[in-house]
Structure 1
Amino acid sequence: MHYVEASTLGAPVTSAAKPRVYAWLVFALTFGLLLSDYMSRQVLNAVFPLLKAEWGLSDTQLGSLSGIVALLVGLLTFPLSVLADRWGRVRSIILMATLWTLATLACGVATGYGQMFVARFFVGLGEAAYGSVGVAVIISIFPAHLRSTLTGAFMAGGAFGSVVGMAMGGVLATRLGWRWAFVAMAIFGAALLLLYALTVTERRLREHSTVTQPSRDSRPGFSMSLRALFSGLFSTTSVICAYIGSGLQLFIMAAVIAWMPSYLNRYYAMTPDKAGVTAAAFVLIGAMGMVVCGIVTDRLCRQMPARKMAMAIVYCLVTAILLGVAFQLPPGLNQLVMIGLGMFLAAGTSGPAGAMVANLTPTPIHASAFATLTLANNLLGLAPGPLLTGVLADHIGLLGAFKLIPMMGIFAAVAFWIGRHHYGSDLSRIQHASGAAAH
C-alpha cells in the first residue's frame, strides 16, 4: 500500500506549485549564513597543527576546542529553537549570527587554551539553534514535495562552509598567521548578517508562505503548550528512529572533517595550507553527496514514503564499508579515492531524515522539530565525533582511531531499519488524525 506524504500535517497550502523568486532569495541568504556558521566553526581544524605547536596542546585538548561547539549546539538547540518559534525566527537568526561573529573574532585574539575555549563556547552558543530555525524558515515558503532536496541542500551548506573554512583557514594561517584566519571568517559573517537583516523580515515571510495564514498560526486541534509540543515531537517510533539514525551517522562525518587536516599532516607530510585545502576537497565531496542524495531520495520516494528509510539504510551501510576499507589501505592515491567515495555518502541521510521529521511533526513546531533533530545530530554525532577521535588518537594513534570510526554507520543503519517498519503506518495515522482535527 502506498501513502502520499502530507505537505504540512493538516495545514492547507497555497496553490502555487513552484517557489517564487523571493523564496529563492531567502534560501540563498539563509544558506549564506549557514556557510558563515560552519566557516567560523571549522576554521579551527585547519590551524590544529599550528596551535599544537605554539601552545603545546594534546589531541584531547584540540578535540575539546572543536567538540565544545557541537556540544553546546546539541544542548541548547532545542530550548533556543522553541523560543525562536515564539519570539520570531528572523529576529532570532539575526541575534545568533551577531553572537557567533563576535565570538569568532575573539578566537583570533585568544592568547592561550583557556581563552580560546571560552571564545569557542560563545561560538557554539551563537550557532546553537541556527540550523533548525534556518531550515524551518526555508520550508515555510517552499512546496512540500521539495523537502528532501531543500533539507539536504541546506544542510550541505554546513559541509560547504567547512570546505571554505578549512581551505581559506589553512592558506591564511600559513601566509598571515592563524589569527587572521579567524578574523577573515568574522568579517565574512558580519557582511552577510547585514545583508540578511536588510532583506528578510517576518512580514515578508508571512506574505510568501506556502501555508495559509489561519492554518499556520492556529492549526485546529493544536496548541503550543509544553505537553502538545513534546507530543508533536515524539509521537511516533519512526520519527524517533530518524533522530537517532541521523545523529549516529553524522558521527562519522564530524570525525573525518575535524581530523582530516591533521591526518594528512601526519601521514602524508602535508603542510597546514595544503592539508587544509586537500581536506576541504573531501568535505566538498560530502556536501555534493548531501545534495545528490536528497534529490535522489525525493525522486525515488515521492509515492513510496517507506523508501526514505530504506535509502538511509543504504547510505549508512555503504559508507561504513567504503571508509572501513579506506583506512585499512596504506597512505596513497587508492586510500584517498576510497575516502572520497565514502565521504560522498557519509551525510547522505541528512535529506531523508529532515524530510521525515518535517512530515511527521506539526507545522507550527517545525523549528522545534528540526531543533530536536539537531540535538540528536550533535549529542550523538557532531560533538562526540571529534572529541572521541582525539581521545582514541592519544591512545592508539589517529590512523587507529579512523579505523574504528566507520563502524558507527552500522548502528545508524539499525536505527533506520527499525524506523522503516513503522514509517508508512505512522504517516498514515498522523494524516488521518490531522484530517479529523481539521474537521
Structure 2
Amino acid sequence: MNVIPDSPRAGNDDDYLISKRQAWFAFAMTFGLMLFDYIDRQVIVSLFPHIKSEWHLSDKQLGSLVSIISIVVGVGGIPVALLADRISRVKSIVVMSTIWSLATISCMFTANFGQLFAARAVVGAGETGYGSVGAALIATLFPKRLRSTVLGAFFAAASLGAVLGVVLGGVIAAQWGWKAAFGVVGVPGLVLALLYLFVRDYKTVALTPKVSQVSLVSLVSQASHQSLGGTLKHIFGTLARTPTLLWACLAGAMQLVTMSAVTSWLPSFLNRFHSMTPAAAGKQTALVILVSAVGVILWGIVVDRLARRTPRYKLPLLSVLCVVTSVIFMEAFGGSYTGDAQFKLIVFGGFFMTSIMGVITGIAMDVIHPGMRSTGAAVLAVILNLCGLAVGPFLTGVLSDQWGLQQALTVVPLFSILAAALFIIAMRTYDADVARISDVKLDVAPALTGHLSTDAAA
C-alpha cells in the first residue's frame, strides 16, 4: 500500500512532492549511499603499501585499480541514467548500490591482481550513474527553494566519503589486515541498499504525447509509438536546446579544473616546498577536502537564500564564488605567503573551490524536463569529469614540467575566471529555459514496498 496518498501538492514546484518526513528520509538514504559510494571507491588508496608488498605489484597496476572505476563510470553513466529516468530511479539505485556493495565485499576474497582488478571494475559498474540518478530524485522530491542546499549536502557526501575511505582503510588494515577493509566498508552499503526500498519515487513523466510513461524496453517493442532511436534523439535534442544547461556545465567544468589541480597536486606541493612527509602531506590535504565539503553545504544554503525571490541570481552568485576562488589560490601559490600562513590561505581557498557543486546541479534540475533529469544530470557529470576533473591534474603536470609546480598552481586557477564568465552567460537564458518546462505536472509513484507486499500476497 502507499505510505501517503498521491499528493495534492504534486503540481506545486515550490513545495515538497511527497510528505516532508518522507522527503528527508529519501535524502538521508541517498546521502548515506553517496557516502559509502566514495568510501568503497577510495578505501583501496590507503591499502596500496600492503597490496604492493604482498603481491609485488607495480605502481602502474596499483593506479589501474583506481582508474578502472572512473573509466567504467564514465562509459556507462548516461545509459544508466537514461534507463533510470524511463523505468524507476528507486529501483535503479537499489540495484546499483547492491552491485557495488557486493563487489566491494568480494574484493576481500581475491587472490591475485587480475581478480581484484575485475572486482573493482564491477564496483565501478555498480556506481555508474548513481550520483546523477540520486541527484535527480532528491532534486524533484524537494521544493525548488531548497534544491541547492540538499544537492550541496548530497555532493559533500562524496568528499566526506573520500576522506573516510582513506582513513578507514589504513585503520582497519592495521588491525585485521588489508583484505578485511573491503568487507567492513562494503556491508553498510548493502544494508542501506535494502533500506532504500522504502524511499518514494516520482512517476515517470512522458516526454512527448506519443511517448507514454513506459520503459525503454517497452518503447523498443512498441514501434508504433516511437523507436528507441527516436526517443534518444528527442532526449538529447532537448538537452542541446537548453543553453543554460550547456553553459552551466562548461562553467562548472572550468571551476573543477582548479579544484582537481589543487587536490591532486597539493600533497606533492607540501612535500616539496614544506618538507612534509607524504603521510603528513596527505593528512593536510584531507583537511582541505573536508573544508571544501563544508563549503559545498554552506554555500548552497547561502545561495538558496539570496536567490530565493529571483532564482536566476544564483548564476552571478556562482560567478562571484569562482572569482574569489581564483584570487585566493593565485595569491596563496604565487604571493609572498610561506609556511603556516600559506597553508591557511590554501585551506581558505578550499572553502570556495567546490562551492558551486550543489548549486550547479540544482540549476540543471531547474531547466531540465522532469522526465529526463537523471539523464541531464549524467550529461552534467560527463562534462564535469571529462572537461574539468580530467584536465586539472594533467595540465598542472605539464605546466609543472615547464615552469615548476608552484608556478603551475599559480596559473591554473585562471580557469575559475573563465568559469565566472560562463556563469554570467548562462544567466541570460535561465528564465526562458525554466519557463519552457513550467507546465509539466509531477505526481508521486506508488510505494515500491507496497508493490512488493501485493506481489507476495498474490
Give the structure-2-normalised TM-score: 0.77
Residue from 392, 401, 421 that aligns with 1:414: 421
1:236-276 deviations in Å (ceiling 9; x for gaps): 2221011122223223334444555565566543463x555
Using the TM superposition, give the Cα deviation of residue 150 of structure 1 relative to its aligned residue in structure 2, in angstroms.
1.5
Determine if the alignment matches structure 1 residue 96 to structure 2 residue 96: yes
Q: Distance in 1 between matches of 2:400 and 2:409?
A: 9
1:108-165 deviations in Å (ceiling 9; x for gaps): 5667766554443333222120011111221232222211112111111111212211
What residue number does 1:280 align with? 286
Q: Which runs of 5+ in 1 are unaligned?
A: 1-10, 207-212
Q: Distance in 1 between matches of 2:145 and 2:155?
A: 17
Q: Distance in 1 between matches of 2:320 and 2:285?
A: 25
Question: Is residue 14–residue 144 contact of structure 2 (8 Å, CA) maintained in 1?
Answer: no
What residue number does 1:36 align with? 36
What residue number does 1:372 align with? 379
What residue number does 1:315 align with? 321
Residue from 228, 232, 240 that aligns with 2:234: 228
In structure 2, the CA distance between the partners of 1:426 and 1:145, relative to structure 1 (3 Å rule), is same
Q: Which runs of 5+ in 2 are unaligned?
A: 1-9, 213-230, 441-458
Determine if the alignment matches structure 1 residue 205 to structure 2 residue 201: yes
Calculate percent identity across the aligned residue pairs.
38
Q: Write out aligned runs for 1:278-427 (5 A).
A: 278-328=284-334, 332-386=339-393, 402-427=409-434
Q: Write out aligned runs for 1:6-25 (5 A).
A: 12-13=11-12, 20-25=20-25
Q: Distance in 2 between matches of 1:115 and 1:259?
A: 30
What residue number does 1:248 align with? 254
SS in 1 for 2:32: helix
Kindly provide the amino acid, as one letter, of the partner of residue 104 in structure 1. T
Using the TM superposition, give the Cα deviation of residue 287 of structure 1 relative to its aligned residue in structure 2, in angstroms.
0.9
Q: Distance in 2 between matches of 1:12 and 1:332?
A: 56
What residue number does 2:143 align with? 143
Question: Is residue 173–residue 181 contact of structure 2 (8 Å, CA) maintained in 1?
Answer: yes
In structure 2, the CA distance between the partners of 1:124 and 1:387, relative to structure 1 (3 Å rule), is farther
Q: Distance in 2 between matches of 1:139 and 1:205?
A: 11
Question: Is residue 368–residue 437 contact of structure 2 (8 Å, CA) maintained in 1?
Answer: no
Using the TM superposition, give the Cα deviation of residue 308 of structure 1 relative to its aligned residue in structure 2, in angstroms.
1.7
In structure 2, the CA distance between the partners of 1:95 and 1:36, relative to structure 1 (3 Å rule), is same
Determine if the alignment matches structure 1 residue 75 to structure 2 residue 71: no
In structure 2, the CA distance between the partners of 1:61 and 1:421, relative to structure 1 (3 Å rule), is farther
Q: What CA RMSD, in Å, does the superposition of the two structures yield over aligned residues?
A: 3.5
Q: Write out aligned runs for 1:59-138 (5 A).
A: 65-108=65-108, 116-138=116-138
Q: Distance in 1 between matches of 2:267 and 2:254?
A: 22
Question: Is residue 43–residue 169 contact of structure 1 (8 Å, CA) maintained in 2?
Answer: yes
Kindly provide the amino acid, as one letter, of the partner of residue 184 in structure 1. V
Kindly provide the amino acid, as one letter, of the partner of residue 39 in structure 1. I
In the alignment of these two chains, the number of paired residues is 410
Using the TM superposition, give the Cα deviation of residue 51 of structure 1 relative to its aligned residue in structure 2, in angstroms.
6.3
Q: Distance in 2 between matches of 1:298 and 1:89?
A: 25
1:275-305 deviations in Å (ceiling 9; x for gaps): 5543332211111111111111111112223
Kindly provide the amino acid, as one letter, of the partner of residue 366 in structure 2. N
Which protein has greater RCO, CA pairs closer than 8 Å, 6+ apart? 1
Using the TM superposition, give the Cα deviation of residue 83 of structure 1 relative to its aligned residue in structure 2, in angstroms.
0.9
Using the TM superposition, give the Cα deviation of residue 317 of structure 1 relative to its aligned residue in structure 2, in angstroms.
2.1
Using the TM superposition, give the Cα deviation of residue 33 of structure 1 relative to its aligned residue in structure 2, in angstroms.
0.3
Using the TM superposition, give the Cα deviation of residue 61 of structure 1 relative to its aligned residue in structure 2, in angstroms.
6.4
Question: Is residue 40–residue 185 contact of structure 2 (8 Å, CA) maintained in 1?
Answer: yes
SS in 1 for 2:293: helix
Question: Is residue 19–residue 142 contact of structure 1 (8 Å, CA) maintained in 2?
Answer: no
Q: Distance in 1 between matches of 2:175 and 2:413?
A: 35
Kindly provide the amino acid, as one letter, of the partner of residue 40 in structure 1. D
SS in 2 for 1:205: coil
Q: Distance in 1 between matches of 2:72 and 2:354?
A: 21
Question: Is residue 62–residue 390 contact of structure 1 (8 Å, CA) maintained in 2?
Answer: no
Q: Distance in 2 between matches of 1:87 and 1:242?
A: 27
Using the TM superposition, give the Cα deviation of residue 423 of structure 1 relative to its aligned residue in structure 2, in angstroms.
2.5
What residue number does 1:4 align with? none
Using the TM superposition, give the Cα deviation of residue 307 of structure 1 relative to its aligned residue in structure 2, in angstroms.
1.8
Question: Is residue 369–residue 437 contact of structure 2 (8 Å, CA) maintained in 1?
Answer: no
Using the TM superposition, give the Cα deviation of residue 31 of structure 1 relative to its aligned residue in structure 2, in angstroms.
0.6
Task: Determine which structure has more spread, i.e. the larger CA radius of gyration.
Answer: 2
Using the TM superposition, give the Cα deviation of residue 221 of structure 1 relative to its aligned residue in structure 2, in angstroms.
5.0
Q: Distance in 2 between matches of 1:388 and 1:426?
A: 34
Kindly provide the amino acid, as one letter, of the partner of residue 81 in structure 1. A
Q: Distance in 1 between matches of 2:123 and 2:36?
A: 11
Q: Distance in 2 between matches of 1:153 and 1:245?
A: 20
In structure 2, the CA distance between the partners of 1:15 and 1:332, relative to structure 1 (3 Å rule), is closer
Give the structure-1-normalised TM-score: 0.80
Q: Distance in 2 between matches of 1:265 and 1:335?
A: 14
